[in-house]
Amino acid sequence: MAAHSKGTKLTKNTFEPRGSICVITGGGNGIGKAIALELAKRKASTIVLVDIDTKSTTSLVSQLQQSFPRTKAMAIKANCCQEKDIRYVINKVEHECGPIDAFFVNAGILSTGGLEVSEDEWELIWKLNVMQILYVARHLMPRFVERKRGAFVITASAAGLLSMPGALPYAVTKHAAVAMAEWLAFTYAKNNIQVACLCPQAVRTDMTALGDGNGGPAGLDGMIEPADAARDTIETLKTGSFLILPHKQVYKHMNRKAKDYDGFLKAMMKIDSMFGETFKNVPPNSRL
């Protein structure tokens, strides 16, 4: 059992990867790609990779087909900032493959900086890191409710629990992602819908390759591999715990924040003085 859980189960059923139909946004690279490989290892029946980066999804579909011939792998090009694309993905998968068992809302971007960040950049990161979750919920939850089952997994970030020096839009949108995940969890648990929220610190992906290459402030507790985050995600889903914390230190920092909020902010000031200025010049990693 994870340190942050006393074993309380919100839903009767928890996600079982074997034989499942799964959709992963941002499935072409990084954490999304690792989740796809982990699900294939655990014998998912269908894995749908949703991404704007078709080169990566095409190559991952081939890799999955070769290594896991019993798992059907397909890619759908979609811009997850757009509700019509999300609606199209859900309709297409349910029509061509069957009822979705688990949806991993994972595509996200980093946008650094502070008050100077432009309205356009705020709009882009808000749409992808926050509104995407709403779009998926809007078009998928009614189907889950009708079937009285389904897993909804949101990749937020430790930045959504602890903030992030030098990256105001990222910190704000990831707090919103956690808020959205919490709300969905307590609202839909009565319908037996499992909602979980993945909150890692630094993971070695294209996102952390930016800047100092060590994840800046997110890398202080060390960098993990995408495969570690993916394994922890699927293992934690089995337990029914809402929070997925591949970096165990995050729970310690959350406790500190709850017990001594001002002390927590003082510690964040120190991290801001170490990373804030340099990190805020890292360019956004949007592929749009």
**Which chain residues interact with ligand NAD by CB under 6 A?**
25-26, 28-32, 51-53, 56, 78-81, 106-109, 128, 155, 157, 200, 202-203, 205-208, 215, 218, 285-288
Give least dist CB 33 to ligand NAD, A.
7
Looking at beta carbons only, is 27 or 150 nearer to ligand NAD?
27
Give least dist CB 250 to ligand NAD, A.
10
> 110 near 284, Cβ under 8 Å?
yes
Give least dist CB 191 to ligand NAD, A.
25
Looking at beta carbons only, is 11 or 61 nearer to ligand NAD?
61
Looking at beta carbons only, is 45 or 54 nearer to ligand NAD?
54
Contacts of 179 (CB under 8 A, 6+ apart): none
Looking at beta carbons only, is 89 or 185 nearer to ligand NAD?
89
Give least dist CB 119 to ligand NAD, A.
18
Following DSSP, what letter does each residue of 36-67 receive, concatenated? HHHHHHTT-SEEEEEES-HHHHHHHHHHHHHH
Give least dist CB 9 to ligand NAD, A.
25
Q: What angle do CA 237, 46, 26 make, to 5 degrees?
A: 70
Largest alpha-carbon pair distance within the chain?
54
48 pairs with which residues across the strands?
23, 74
Q: Give the separation between CA 73 and CA 58, rounded to whole angstroms.
A: 10
Say which DSSP state 119 is in.
H
Looking at beta carbons only, is 11 or 197 nearer to ligand NAD?
197
